[in-house]
Structure 1
């Protein structure tokens, strides 16, 4: 059989995290280190790999007020409700994807990065996180309710709907972005939620001529914005 389709064969190599293509992640497991991945994200695998539900440790949730910074909760491996993970262990190669979204591999080296949990595809077990709330974010969906501050060292893979825009933020300047298009930002930035319109319809998420809610960023870092004002597609449970 002859077809350009057959040119899309699996890549080879020992690199732990690599992109098979812009929308498909390739993870090599060596039998020692495990990987946490979004539940249901496995599309293919080879070798002897086990997939088990990942259950975070318990712990009470406590708010700590901070005027401009996000409200933070006690650190630890406890995700926001939208982060549903599975543990990948064993020896072999796993291919991960989520509805053909664009994938981006980030190497954290003691930096702190805040990501909306809906856009997390996979991460090393050595990365720590804590749930954070943008002040006033309970009024909107998405970034306002399900954000994670990640820290430590290891690999993180995030998703975007299309190719993202990374906007630098410098001291003394403000950067603004639609709250529904923001994927993540440098955790050191000061973040505020504000209405883009005085119209009462701005309290609704989409569905009107107004732009709704936006986030303002100031400090020193960057903001990741996707070319879409929709949340990442979610895994739909079978009934």
Structure 2
């Protein structure tokens, strides 16, 4: 049989049940959810499903935030949907790499655009980043996930986790920052000379500064969340 035959393609790509539980990585870029009840998923992330599953879109930004922020934040990353029922659900987000994390009474902050799915046992709270004035664009919020259960986050290409230790702060580009440990509170700082040096145009370079004891996950890719301040 030719290695390029249709049968060979089907055997290489056919869905297989790995028996891993609620969340399974069907491929590095495709999450299989073996649904028997309810989960939260990023709005617009459904690729396919079978079984009896109902979807209900719900703006997570409706959790008590002012209309000013609702207006300022837009895009698919701003809302989750409930998937309810029994069946198999496939989720993906622009071909990004998917990471499943099993939280055990732990907490993690995830960039609002990089949270793909979570169990309903996980509490999720919207947190707005400080110093948003003059930087308003699509991704200024993050979501604090805490409790016990599974979450799935996404990264463009292979993520890198950096340890943050006392006396050794980590500085990151907000557009490349995926997630960080729940005990860290990043601060924003600006670096005019750095922005000028790398030739990205006028204005300030916005950076995130993490200090304390924890970790921060970055991706080798800059998603455009912040518009330049002028």
TM-score bin (small chain)? 0.7 to 0.9
In structure 1, C-alpha distance between the alignment counterparts of 2:112 and 2:201, rounded to whole Å? 26
Q: How much is the aligned-residue C-alpha RMSD, in angstroms?
A: 2.9
Tell me the residue number matched to 1:17: 23
In structure 2, C-alpha distance between the alignment counterparts of 1:139 and 1:110, rounded to whole Å? 36
In structure 2, C-alpha distance between the alignment counterparts of 1:164 and 1:149, rounded to whole Å? 19
Q: 2:222 aligns with which of 229, 233, 237?
A: 229
Tell me the residue number matched to 1:212: 205
Structure 1: any 5+ residue segments left out of the alignment? Answer: 63-79, 233-239
1:1-239 aligned within 5 A: 1-2=5-6, 4-6=8-10, 7-14=12-19, 15-30=21-36, 33-54=37-58, 60-61=64-65, 82-140=77-135, 145-198=140-193, 207-208=200-201, 212-231=205-224
Q: Is the 8 A contact 1:47 1:92 kept in 2?
A: yes
Larger fraction in helix: 2
In structure 2, C-alpha distance between the alignment counterparts of 1:195 and 1:125, rounded to whole Å? 37
SS of the aligned residue for 1:152 comes to strand
After superposition, give the CA deviation of every residue in 1:7-38 in whole Å (9 maximum; x if it has no partner): 111021441101001100000012xx211111
After superposition, give the CA deviation of every residue in 1:96-141 in whole Å (9 maximum; x if it has no partner): 0011111110111221211111111111111112222332134435
TM-aligned CA deviation for residue 213 of structure 1: 1.4
Q: Is the 8 A contact 2:112 2:143 kept in 1?
A: yes
When normalised by structure 2's length, the TM-score is 0.80
Tell me the residue number matched to 1:71: none
Question: For residues 36 and 228 of structure 1, do their structure 2 counterparts lie closer, same or farther at Cα, with a shift above 3 Å needed?
Answer: same
